[in-house]
Amino acid sequence: MKRVGFLLKVKESMMEEYKKHHENVWPEMQDALKRAGWHNYTLFIRDDGLIFGYFETPVDFQTALDKIAQEEVNPRWNAFMEPYFENLGGQLVDQSMVELEEYFHLD
């Protein structure tokens, strides 16, 4: 199982509303993530809106992104979330995730 860490940036002025939406993530989006192999998916946020995301997948990061991109609900969720993020440069939220290099792990 590959562990994936990534970064994104939410607009500070929209953090609370953004977090509120994650209290009730659409069930079809949750199902899509599971089908795409995103396990143990966790999001952390800093006071300035920097998000650290983590998930485990049986495939590499790009393949996991490709799999979720094939899910019908994914573009709708991305469009819904897009206004909350900084620096997307015209890309979907998923395409803007900056993967972090794993360099240490302790079980």
Q: Which residues are catalytic?
A: 22
101/19 Cα distance (integer angstroms): 26
Rg (CA), the chain: 14
Is 86 within 8 Å of 94 (Cβ atoms)? no
